[in-house]
């Protein structure tokens, strides 16, 4: 049995997506494009019905998280089918997974959306694997991700400069972004850009593995980007953002228990690391203070990237509107964007405790409903005994990790429960 997870990441991909807040609804054919790419249609409207995907393009290599040898890094490249335009902007889309798991295929739908808008969308690998979470190992995981994303950018510059520009890209218009851990990596590509900003505890390690740029491939080429987007990401130190830095948009839930909304200690899989980081709220406060153009969509609730399930169109639409401004040389002036679901979310959800847990956990919801607890593969591991308002479930026989609590009909519940090692 599979979890009935609504919406974005686990559901079927829509064949005809319409964005009702930030994107313009359209039935235009790709044959009706105007001469200029910044014509008020491209990048704002789904002009293209289909996408061409080139999978498994090797762009670099580096030492894996554990063990010796070398890990080859690949990217998937999404292009709008039938597009005749040259000099197309690029959007990098980095996957999530706490730097321990995840793969580039996880962001296929986001890449398809960007490509249908007219971008060349790129889903790159970065090195992931198990590490025991503490301040040093977690910082190094972020640095590995940053290094690999920078190598992906350099590879794109290289293809345009010496390989005949096979993807017809404009290297002056590359935007880096990602979801969760991928968003963290993207933010660090954009703002951890000076050797003097390397944390003191990492200085020797970082010099050994290549400083700011890293050793993942194509040294000598640029890794510059013109903007950054993040879905529930964070930065190690907001002081790395300074006057003249590139603009950014972030989306984040106020009560996110995985990546902090403000500034607090970071946990990985529910394990405290001793590392303090700043999430979207404080990142954008810093940007406001130093005059870096930015957009911030603040969601209520305590999910992590939950808006991609219950508010997909508006969430992606906000990012698309920002990217369209950036690639068309318009300064974004969106500031902090409000959502129209504040009251709805305030009345939903569940009280869960303890969370993280090592075994038993109690769930309380506002209205009786059937509850399912699923692992991240979508397998149902526990189901409540009918419609309940209070449910105690024993997870001690399950493997440590993140589980999804979902309602089946009735009130909407989408929460995460972290099962720590026991």
Residues 386 and 305 in one domain: no
Please, are residues 114 and 176 in contact by the beta-carbon 8 Å criterion? Answer: no
Residues 235 and 370 in one domain: no
- Domain count of the chain? 2
d(CA 31, CA 21): 25
pTM beyond 0.95: no
What is the domain-level CATH number for residue 80? 3.40.50.1820
Report if residue 51 sits inside a domain: yes
Residues 325 and 396 in one domain: no
Q: What pLDDT sits at residue 340?
A: 46
Residue where a domain terminates, one of 344, 361, 387: 344
Chain length of the chain: 422
Q: Mean pLDDT in each 10-residue stretch from start to end of the chain (422 residues)? A: 34 31 32 62 95 98 92 98 97 96 96 98 96 89 96 98 98 98 97 83 73 94 98 95 96 93 86 88 93 92 91 91 95 64 42 79 83 81 90 89 75 72 63
Which residue is listed with tokens 């005059």?
Answer: 291
Residue where a domain terminates, one of 303, 319, 344: 344
Pairing mode of beta strands 248-253, 294-299: parallel
Residues 239 and 143 in one domain: yes
Q: What pLDDT sits at residue 358?
A: 84
Report if residue 69 sits inside a domain: yes
Report if residue 336 sits inside a domain: yes
Residues 237 and 113 in one domain: yes
Residues 354 and 340 in one domain: no
Residues 410 and 305 in one domain: no
For residue 282, say if its preceding peptide bond is cis, omega within 30 degrees of 0: no
Q: What pLDDT sits at residue 232?
A: 97
Report if residue 10 sits inside a domain: no
Report if residue 21 sits inside a domain: no
Residue where a domain terminates, one of 344, 367, 391: 344
Torsions phi, psi for 60 (to 5 deg)? 180, -175
Residues 355 and 225 in one domain: no
Report if residue 83 sits inside a domain: yes
Report if residue 300 sits inside a domain: yes
Residues 224 and 366 in one domain: no
Residues 222 and 369 in one domain: no
Report if residue 333 sits inside a domain: yes
What is the domain-level CATH number for residue 381? 2.60.40.3080
Residues 339 and 384 in one domain: no
Residues 369 and 289 in one domain: no
d(CA 82, CA 411): 44
Domain of 411 in residue numbering reads as 350-419
d(CA 181, CA 277): 13
């Amino acid at each position: 049995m599979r979890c009935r997870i609504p919406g974005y990441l686990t559901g079927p991909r829509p064949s005809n997506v319409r964005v009702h807040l930030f994107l313009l609804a359209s039935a235009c054919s790709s044959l009706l494009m105007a001469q200029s790419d910044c014509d008020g249609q491209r990048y704002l409207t789904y002009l293209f019905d289909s996408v061409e995907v080139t999978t498994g393009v090797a762009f670099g290599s580096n030492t894996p998280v554990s063990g010796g040898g070398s890990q080859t890094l690949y990217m998937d490249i999404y292009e709008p089918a039938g597009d005749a335009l040259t000099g197309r902007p690029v959007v990098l889309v980095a996957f999530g997974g706490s730097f321990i798991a995840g793969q580039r295929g996880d962001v296929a739908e986001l890449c398809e959306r960007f490509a249908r808008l007219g971008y060349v969308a790129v889903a790159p690998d970065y090195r992931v694997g198990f590490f025991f979470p503490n301040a040093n190992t977690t910082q190094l995981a972020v640095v590995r991700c940053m290094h690999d994303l920078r190598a992906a950018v350099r590879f794109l510059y290289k293809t345009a400069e010496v390989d005949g520009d096979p993807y017809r890209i404009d290297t002056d218009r590359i935007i880096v972004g990602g979801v969760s851990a991928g968003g963290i990596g993207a933010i660090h590509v954009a703002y951890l850009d000076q050797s003097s900003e390397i944390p003191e505890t990492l200085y020797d390690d970082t010099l050994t593995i290549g400083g700011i740029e890293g050793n993942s491939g194509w040294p000598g080429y640029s890794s510059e980007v013109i903007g950054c987007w993040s879905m529930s990401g964070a930065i190690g130190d907001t002081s790395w953002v300074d006057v003249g830095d590139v603009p950014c948009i972030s989306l984040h839930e106020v009560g996110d228990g995985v990546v902090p909304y403000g500034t607090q200690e970071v946990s990985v899989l529910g394990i405290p690391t001793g590392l303090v980081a700043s999430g979207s709220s404080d990142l954008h406060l810093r940007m406001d203070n130093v005059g870096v153009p930015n957009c911030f969509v603040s969601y209520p609730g305590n999910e992590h990237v939950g808006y991609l399930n219950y508010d997909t169109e508006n969430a992606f639409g906000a990012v698309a509107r920002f990217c369209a401004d950036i690639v068309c040389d318009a300064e974004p002036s969106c500031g902090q964007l409000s959502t129209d679901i504040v009251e709805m979310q305030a009345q939903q959800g569940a009280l869960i405790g303890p969370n993280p847990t090592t075994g038993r956990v109690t769930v309380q919801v506002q209205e009786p409903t059937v509850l399912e607890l699923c692992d991240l593969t979508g397998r149902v591991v526990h189901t409540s005994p009918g419609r309940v308002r209070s449910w105690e479930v024993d997870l001690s026989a399950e493997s440590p990790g993140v589980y999804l609590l979902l309602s089946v009909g009735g009130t909407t519940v989408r929460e995460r429960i972290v099962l720590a090692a026991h």
